[in-house]
Structure 1
Amino acid sequence: MDTMHVKTYLSRIGFAGPAEPCLEVLRSVHTSHLLSVPFENLAVHSGGRIQLALPLLYAKIVDQRRGGFCCENNGLFAWLLSELGFQVTLLSGQVKRVTTGRYGPPFDHLVLLVSLGGQRWLCDVGFGSASFTIPILLETSVPQEQGHRVYRVRKDSGMHFLEWQQEENRGPAGDWTEIYKFTLEPRCLEDFDEMCRYHQSSPCSIFFCKSICTVLKPDGRLTYIGSRLSSTTYPSEATGAVLKTTTRELKDEEIAGVLAEGFGVVLNSPLIPKDEMVVPVPDIY
Structure 2
Amino acid sequence: MDAYLRRIGASRPERADAAALRDLQLRHLHTVPFENLSIHLGEDIELEEKALLAKIVDAGRGGFCYELNGAFAALLRDLGFTVTLLQARVFGDEGRLGIPYDHLALLVGTADSTGPWLADVGFGDHAHHPLVFDERGDQQDPAGTFRIVEVPESEHGDLDVYRDGEPQFRMERRPRVLDDFRAGAWWHRTSPDSHFTRSVVCSRLSHEGRITLSGRKLVTTGHGERREQPLADDAAVLAAYRDHFGLLLDRLPSAPGRAT
Q: TM-score under structure 1 normalisation? A: 0.84
Contact 2:144–2:163 (CA<8 Å) still a contact in 1? yes
Instruction: Note the C-alpha offset of 1:229.
Output: 1.2
Aligned partners of 1:275, 1:28: CA distance in 2, in Å? 41
Aligned partners of 2:82, 2:119: CA distance in 1, in Å? 12
Amino acid at match of 1:108: D
Within 5 A, what are the aligned runs for 1:56-135?
A: 56-97=51-92, 99-116=93-110, 117=113, 119-129=115-125, 131-135=126-130
Amino acid at match of 2:238: A
The sequence identity of aligned pairs, in percent, is 36
Q: Runs of 5+ in structure 2 lacking a partner? A: none
Q: What does residue 162 of structure 1 align with? A: 161
Within 5 A, what are the aligned runs for 1:268-283?
A: 268-274=250-256
Q: TM-score under structure 2 normalisation? A: 0.92
Matched, 1:210 2:199: yes
Aligned partners of 2:243, 2:74: CA distance in 1, in Å? 28
Matched, 1:197 2:186: yes
Aligned partners of 1:84, 1:219: CA distance in 2, in Å? 29
Instruction: Note the C-alpha offset of 1:268.
Output: 4.5
Matched, 1:251 2:246: no
Q: What does residue 25 of structure 2 align with? A: 30
Aligned partners of 1:219, 1:17: CA distance in 2, in Å? 26
Q: What does residue 230 of structure 1 align with? A: 219
SS at structure 2 position matched to 1:119: coil
Amino acid at match of 1:164: R
Contact 1:164–1:177 (CA<8 Å) still a contact in 2? yes
Amino acid at match of 1:101: G
Aligned partners of 1:91, 1:61: CA distance in 2, in Å? 21
Aligned partners of 2:158, 2:257: CA distance in 1, in Å? 33
Change (3 A) 1:252 1:272: farther
Instruction: Note the C-alpha offset of 1:269.
Output: 4.1
Change (3 A) 1:193 1:162: same
Contact 1:54–1:75 (CA<8 Å) still a contact in 2? yes
Runs of 4+ in 1 over 4 A off after TM superposition: none
Contact 2:128–2:143 (CA<8 Å) still a contact in 1? no
Instruction: Note the C-alpha offset of 1:274.
Output: 4.3
1:33-89 C-alpha deviation (Å, 9 max, x unpaired): 101100001011112121111111111101111000000000000000110111100
